[in-house]
Amino acid sequence: MTEIRYKPIGVIRTPFHSPEGMPIQPAAAQGIVGRVEMDRGVVDGLKDLDGFSHVILIYHFHEAKAACLRATPYLDGVERGVFATRSPARPNAIGISVVRLLGIEGNVLCVENVDIVDGTPLLDIKPYVPQFDGADDVRIGWLKDNLRKLGHTRDDGRFMKKTSARKSE
């Protein structure tokens, strides 16, 4: 298989300077505001995005440790296959978050419900459309009995590169 390379199109700015302590999903990051600073060369691609209330941010987990095929997720104490988790330590360290789009000013998107570490490279943006992205008759596997933990569970650093730990400011 050939190697695939992506070039970031922007950077995500948030109040989280380290993965430790962050909410682990946008649903647990209610009210947390961030900015998406787009490269000037892609600004024309933002045309008409302001008509959407939510967007899907696709990004690179730049603070994640090397890929593991097994992971113990934050909401569970049982080791799972990485593809049955949302662990950032995966073969391709790609993350997605559905966030509320508050506005666009020039090359900057203001977003809310952000669960992403500051400085994260942005790979793409897609509009969130519930009729496209939602599904009926959904099963959520092992998470079914663990969702009650979402609101109070925070990143504890278990998937973070050891060399990238930042000092608290």
What are phi and psi for residue 89, nearest 5 degrees?
-85, 80
CA distance 62 to 131: 31
* pLDDT (average), residues 121-148: 86
Say yes or no to pLDDT of 30 above 90. Answer: yes
* pTM score over 0.85: yes
Of 40-44, 63-67, 149-153, where does mean pLDDT reach its minimum? Answer: 149-153
Q: Band the pLDDT of 145: cuts 50, 70, 90.
A: confident
Instruction: pLDDT band for 152, please (50, 70, 90 cuts).
Output: confident
pLDDT band at residue 167 using 50, 70 and 90 as cut-offs: very low
- The domains of the chain are located at 10-147
Query: How far is the C-alpha of 76 from the C-alpha of 168, rounded, in Å?
Result: 27
Q: 11, 43, 39: which is closest to 114 by C-alpha?
A: 11
pLDDT of residue 47: 98
Task: Write out the two tokens for 128.
Answer: 């969130």
Q: What kind of architecture, by CATH, is found in domain 10-147?
A: Beta Barrel (2.40)
- Rounded Cα gap, residues 39 and 42, in angstroms: 6
Cα radius of gyration (the chain): 16
DSSP state of 8: -
Which residues does 85 contact at the CB level (< 8 Å), separation at least 6?
71, 73
Query: For residue 39, is pLDDT > 60?
Result: yes
